Structure formats: structure tokens, C-alpha cells
Amino acid sequence: MKTYLLAILLTVPATFAAAEPFKCRVTDVLLSSEENPEFVRKNKQKQFLITVGSESIVIAQSSPDFAPSEREFFPVSEPPSDILAMATDSFSVSTFAMPYLTNSGIRFDATLTLQTANFVNVWTLDCLP
């Protein structure tokens, strides 16, 4: 048990100080509003770069159908639980969740949401370091 705890403690700084972004592709898009196959198709073409820093997570998006964008999320969880982060503005709340990684090179799933008073969109991501 002591060895396990020591291993977790030694990996905490490395995970939160990752310099290289995780590269993610969209595997699914869920909408709470009416079905919109064209919107879903375009969103499935998005690519995300996720950079986990010591105090924030920056998520950059690129797509052939949408303008590039970048948003800063702030962690609301503590290691070794899953990494949970939020971003807010006057229009929406966004959340991001990914597993807390202790090993480099592991493929993982993550989720990204966008919520307003009228809808919630969820992107399921497949990510690689």
C-alpha cells in the first residue's frame, strides 16, 4: 500500500504539468435539442488539443467547418480522482472530464459539455498523449 501511495504522489506533478497536449478526436456528439444530423456530422470532424497545466486546462479546437477556438478550464477536482474542470461565461457553462493518468502513452476517453438555459451538447472524445 505504501508503494502504491508513493507511486501516486510521484505522478501527480507530472500529470498536471504535461507540456505536450493530448490529441483528441470526436467519437460521438449528443444533443438535448432536436436532432440535427448536419450539426452532428460537422462536430464529429472537430479535433481537440488538450493541455493540462498546473492551474488550468486549455482546450483548443480545430475543424474544417468551425472557426478555431481556445478555452481555459479550471480544475474542480483533486488527484487521484478523475480530472474535472469548468469554464463559464455570461452565456454558458462548459465542463471537461478525463481520467487521471499515471502512465504516458495510454489512450483514454474524455467528455466535453456545453450547457445553456436552452440546450446541452456533449462531445465524447478519444484521446492520445
Q: What pLDDT does 119 receive?
A: 96
In tens digits, the chain (129 residues) has pLDDT values of 444 433 433 444 444 444 579 999 999 999 998 889 999 999 999 999 999 998 999 999 999 999 999 999 999 998 888 999 999 999 999 999 999 876 678 899 999 999 999 999 999 999 998
Q: What pLDDT does 89 receive?
A: 96
CB 125 within 8 A of CB 57: no
**pTM of the entire structure?**
0.81
Distance of CA 113 to the CA centre of its chain: 9
CATH topology of domain 2-128: Lipocalin (2.40.128)
Helix (H) or strand (E) holding 128: strand 120-128
Q: What pLDDT does 15 receive?
A: 45
The sign one gets for the Cα dihedral 2, 128, 99, 58 is: positive
Distance of CA 88 to the CA centre of its chain: 15
Q: What pLDDT does 19 receive?
A: 53
Helix (H) or strand (E) holding 41: helix 37-43
Of 32, 24, 16, 33, nearest in space to 80 by CA: 16
Residues 6+ apart with CB under 8 A from 90: none
